[in-house]
Structure 1
Amino acid sequence: MNTMTDTAAAAAAAAHGVADASAAPDFRDELLAAGLLIDTGENGLYGRSQIFEDVLERLNVAITHLGADQQPEVLRFPPAMRRTDFEDSEYLKSFPNLAGTIHSFCGDDLGHRQLLRALDEATAASDSDDERSDAWMAQQKPTRVVLTPAACYPIYPVMARRGPLPVEGRTIDVLSYCFRHEPSLDPGRMQMFRQREYVRLGSADQVMAFRQMWIERGSLLVTLLQLPLEVDLANDPFFGRGGKIVADSQRAQALKFELLIPIADPRGKTACLSFNYHMDHFGAIWKIACEDGAVAHTACVGFGMERITLALFRHHGLDVNKWPGDVRALLWGDTEARVAQGMQVMLANAQPTGAGA
């Protein structure tokens, strides 16, 4: 799972009915004025321009080349998942404030008339969106699907149905829109956003080696993009009084690291990549077994696609034609060759002094 920790402040603000006024809107205003983001009237819910999407997609290509040697299985899911799988995931135990459920009208003709009457009353009563009655929603009932909170969540039940993992484990490449209920003026905290993840399932040694590898590769990519970065120990924003205990345990066991880049939040840096070791949490929930019968461990690296794209605009400017030459060559040139060259340099620098070529 990939939950980036700077969500905590927005969640706390939302709980008190405050739209995170401490986050300076200046960068958001610049993005909107330039047409890179499109205002929908709802904080944290934006349209994206062609230029924004082009940068994001070229970043996506670079991430593909970064992980190509791992020969991952590529899976793509819609931004919704089965409600029963979501319930089994235990997400609601930790992050009930971030979850998004999907409801639909399931009534009869009488219910429909009641819905329309309530809707007419709501739209006629006030010109303010915030003051509208939501009485019409009494006719809505939960569906069998919920919004996906993290790109990796649909993977685990699918892997469980396949039976025991092969001896080498499995590596999955997944990309999905995700939802977190955290309205904010900070463009780095969107309610709907994309996560690109590589997910590893296998033994503890296999997934720990995977996570360390991706800390290095994620840092390499951000360095090639000429963005400032810091990798730091982190914890997820667990909810409630007991959440601090769980967060402290997560940090004590060094289960989560984040790659941080300054974007728009004046209070600090924003988590743009997340490196997570879940231990056997998901393996135990869905009874995913290794080849030898042991409960599988899992880990993931999550790329916040919008956040990295925002970081590029923040540090290189809103005109992509004026970005540094090497950054443009990486994204709009021979991306595969540039990534491969960076990997070679990284591996050479990692060799001990005196090691053979």
Structure 2
Amino acid sequence: MSPSPAELARIGLSWQPSGQAALRGPLLALAEDCDRAFVRLAGLWRAREERHPCSLPAERLQRVGYLRSFPHQASFAARLSPEEADLEAFLDGPVVDEHGALAQARLSPLSEVLTPAACYHVFSDRLGHSLAGPEFVTTRNSCFRREREYVPLRRLSGFTMREVVCLGTGADTAEFLRLAREALELFFPLAGLEPQWHPATDPFFRPRENPRYLLQRVDPVKYEAIYGGDLAIASTNRHHDHFGTGFGLTLDGRPVHSACVAFGLERWLFALTDRHGTDPERWPSLEAAAAKVCAELGGGAP
């Protein structure tokens, strides 16, 4: 039986109706153990750690068609108009209306999109670069997506994503995904989880009108590790040269290919507490499990 809201609150979950979660105590410690484990797995490729902001320029995301493909999920960094008259009009009003929403106000142009997936920054930060060889990166970010409903730890408007990203040739990305799948199939049982791999498609707006959705149906490039029949806790993604072309990334004069492995930390908290309960003494050490996987596969330190 899944932990009740009261049980999750007892071990450190504070849930907001907006679909965001605050963590403290045992649950926060478990989240950090999860993240250390994923960083340890990234050591299989000696992936370099990167840190990025919580938003990207809309122009950068539109280079790869994000806003046309996923307008229903996009969240924006909005600011009030800096004009003094507009600020005075805002202050003269109620500021917050009877529903708790910001009262109508003039806004500055919306130019920043809150991070939808951690890997976008890796490509955007290398805009126009020519790579000397394959690169492996790991990064963690707060990500934001609008959903029809929000469920504690399972589906959030703001959540934490850890990714490992490969940039290189098509052969480089194929080998990266092969090793990633092998590593995860060793790691999952050590974590006490038994997710099933399923092909998946990205959540396109009006999918049947989007050629990228149709291509994903014909040639699956996304696989999700599904826990409990309906919860994706990890995914592997092959991008071909989509991001390399969109961001002008080249290797040996050709557009870079890329692939990534993604983990949703809050979903892992749900799966682990659902499987092992809410007593921290019963939780496995995920970092130790990841170290065991790396030792078996001969991976280097992160």
TM-score by structure 2 length?
Answer: 0.89
Partner deviation per Cα, 1:45-75 (whole Å, 9 max, x = no partner): 1211222121111111112222213111211
- Structure number with larger C-alpha Rg: 1
Shift of 1:342: 4.9
- Please provide the CA RMSD for this pair: 2.3
- Distance, in Å, in 2 between the alignment partners of 1:241 and 1:296 is 26
Which ranges of 4 or more aligned residues in structure 1 deviate by more than 6 Å? Answer: none
2:127 to 142, 160, 165: 160
- Distance, in Å, in 2 between the alignment partners of 1:28 and 1:179 is 25
2:266 to 268, 284, 306: 306
Shift of 1:183: 5.2
The question of whether the paired residues in 2 share the 8 Å contact of 1:101 and 1:142 is answered with no
- Distance, in Å, in 1 between the alignment partners of 2:163 and 2:224 is 14
Partner deviation per Cα, 1:200-222 (whole Å, 9 max, x = no partner): 11111111111121122123222
- Distance, in Å, in 1 between the alignment partners of 2:110 and 2:7 is 36
**Letter of the structure 2 residue corresponding to residue 212 of structure 1:** R
Check 1:319–1:245 CA distance in 2 against 1; reply closer, same or farther (3 A cut): same
- Distance, in Å, in 2 between the alignment partners of 1:241 and 1:66 is 33
Check 1:27–1:322 CA distance in 2 against 1; reply closer, same or farther (3 A cut): closer
Q: Unaligned 5+ residue runs, structure 1?
A: 1-23, 263-267, 345-357
What are the within-5 Å matches in structure 2 for residues 132-171 of structure 1? 134=102, 136-161=103-128, 163-167=129-133, 169-171=134-136
Paired residue secondary structure (1:274): strand
Shift of 1:243: 4.6
Check 1:107–1:157 CA distance in 2 against 1; reply closer, same or farther (3 A cut): closer
- Distance, in Å, in 2 between the alignment partners of 1:114 and 1:275 is 49
2:195 to 221, 229, 248: 229
2:47 to 72, 75, 78: 72
The question of whether the paired residues in 1 share the 8 Å contact of 2:161 and 2:265 is answered with yes
TM-score by structure 1 length?
Answer: 0.76
What are the within-5 Å matches in structure 2 for residues 239-258 of structure 1? 239-240=205-206, 242-243=208-209, 246-258=212-224
Please say which of residues 308-317 and 61-70 is displaced more in the overlay: 61-70
Q: Unaligned 5+ residue runs, structure 2?
A: none
The question of whether the paired residues in 1 share the 8 Å contact of 2:165 and 2:260 is answered with yes
Shift of 1:337: 4.5
Paired residue secondary structure (1:98): coil
Paired residue secondary structure (1:102): coil
2:246 to 278, 285, 291: 285
Partner deviation per Cα, 1:19-44 (whole Å, 9 max, x = no partner): xxxxx9x74624544253102332x2
The question of whether the paired residues in 2 share the 8 Å contact of 1:235 and 1:248 is answered with no
Paired residue secondary structure (1:100): coil
Q: Which structure features the higher share of helix residues?
A: 1
Please say which of residues 281-290 and 66-75 is displaced more in the overlay: 66-75
Paired residue secondary structure (1:283): helix
1:200 to 166, 173, 177: 166
The question of whether the paired residues in 1 share the 8 Å contact of 2:225 and 2:234 is answered with yes
The question of whether the paired residues in 2 share the 8 Å contact of 1:171 and 1:198 is answered with yes
Partner deviation per Cα, 1:307-346 (whole Å, 9 max, x = no partner): 11221011100111133xxx24x44xx56643334546xx
Tell me whether 1:339 sits opposite 2:293 in the alignment.
yes
**Letter of the structure 1 residue corresponding to residue 136 of structure 2:** T
1:189 to 129, 141, 155: 155
2:237 to 276, 282, 303: 276
Paired residue secondary structure (1:287): coil
**Letter of the structure 2 residue corresponding to residue 257 of structure 1:** Y
What are the within-5 Å matches in structure 2 for residues 62-141 of structure 1? 62-120=37-95, 122-123=96-97, 126=98, 128-129=99-100, 134=102, 136-141=103-108
Check 1:82–1:98 CA distance in 2 against 1; reply closer, same or farther (3 A cut): same
Tell me whether 1:40 sits opposite 2:16 in the alignment.
yes
Shift of 1:241: 5.4
Check 1:209–1:241 CA distance in 2 against 1; reply closer, same or farther (3 A cut): closer
**Letter of the structure 1 residue corresponding to residue 130 of structure 2:** P
Partner deviation per Cα, 1:219-268 (whole Å, 9 max, x = no partner): 32222101121011111111115357543420321211111112xxxxx4
- Distance, in Å, in 2 between the alignment partners of 1:286 and 1:322 is 46
Aligned residues: 297
Tell me whether 1:220 sits opposite 2:186 in the alignment.
yes
Tell me whether 1:173 sits opposite 2:138 in the alignment.
yes
